[in-house]
Structure 1
Amino acid sequence: MPPEVSRPSAPVDIAAGIAATAVGGAVAVYRGAERLPVLGGLLHQARTGLAARGERALEPAKAAVAGIAVQIVERVLDQLDLNELVRTRVDLVGLANEVVDGIDLQAIIRQSTESVTAEVMTDVRSQGERADDLVSGFVDRLLGRDRD
């Protein structure tokens, strides 16, 4: 059984609720103030400028966190035997079957045999024509005909 997690006391819950309500109210008042004719434009411009400044200030922190994350991932990958991980966690036979099912072997065989068949038929025709010419020449010589 896991150890019991201690909960904040009721006064802390009440204080958090009061703070959330106050912040929500302040946000509502500020949004209303931004709609005022003269003051609203200045407030909106100030808020936009502060947001942009805060975003620029966060860029170095984001870059540092990204660099640390890359180093952590590289160290974890250095500790892993990816071949063993794949062998134990991936259904290689199922994956191979899925790949083979995705390949249209009949079409591949049909295309390859069509080209071979076409080449063979061309060769047979040309050999038949040469044989026909040979027989025709022989018969012409036998019968004493002139070939032009």
Structure 2
Amino acid sequence: MTDLSGLAKHPATTLSLGAAATAIGLAAEGYRACERLPFVGDRLRGARSALERRGEEVLAAGLEPLTAAITAIAVELVDRVLDELDLNALVRERVDLIGLADEVVAGINLPAIIRESTGSVTSDVMHDVRSQSERADDAVAGIVDRILRRDKGLR
């Protein structure tokens, strides 16, 4: 690739820019002088107004397609770059996964989760034990009633 960093300070560049600026300035002065002429001036002003309107129309209509083209090029460029990258390797090289995992684990309130889960499990187990105890008590009472030949209705 060619190094163009010194081009702005090169004498040929400054000479060319100076000549162009002078030519544009002279052309603008000549045009303004012609617009002041009696017969030609009115036609020049009319032509200039028409050209300015046309330029505004082109700018208004031309920026949207230009923006769409630039966007399409940028999307294609990003897609091509992503196709060439190994994102897994890039993440392994650039991201501190252990540090990230430590942050995630630190953000989890594990003791509270354990308390909630064991609390509901303990409650369910206790309910089941009580229910089974009641059924066992009824079964033992039934056996004792049969041995003692008690009537179920007397209870």
TM range (shorter): 0.5 to 0.7
Identify the residue that residue 32 of structure 2 maps to in structure 1: none
Identify the residue that residue 137 of structure 2 maps to in structure 1: 132
Shift of 1:78: 1.4
Structure 2: tracts of 5 or more residues without a match: 26-52
> Cα RMSD (Å) of the superposition?
3.0
* Selected match of 1:82 from 74, 80, 87: 87
User: Is residue 2:145 matched to residue 1:146?
Assistant: no
Shift of 1:69: 0.3
Identify the residue that residue 107 of structure 1 maps to in structure 2: 112
Structure 1: tracts of 5 or more residues without a match: 20-46
For 1:115 and 1:70, locate their aligned partners in 2 and report how far apart those are by CA, in whole Å: 52
Higher-Rg structure is: 2
Count of paired positions = 111
Is the partner of 2:99 in helix, strand or coil? helix
User: Is residue 2:75 matched to residue 1:70?
Assistant: yes
In structure 2, what residue type is equivalent to 1:91? Answer: D
User: Structure 1 residues 113 and 67 mapped into 2: Cα distance closer, same or farther (>3 Å)?
Assistant: same
User: Is residue 2:104 matched to residue 1:91?
Assistant: no
User: Is residue 2:64 matched to residue 1:59?
Assistant: yes
Between the two proteins, what is the percent identity of the paired residues? 59
1:106-131: CA deviation from partner (whole Å, max 9, x where unpaired): 22222221222122112101110011
Shift of 1:77: 1.1
TM-score (normalised: structure 2): 0.59
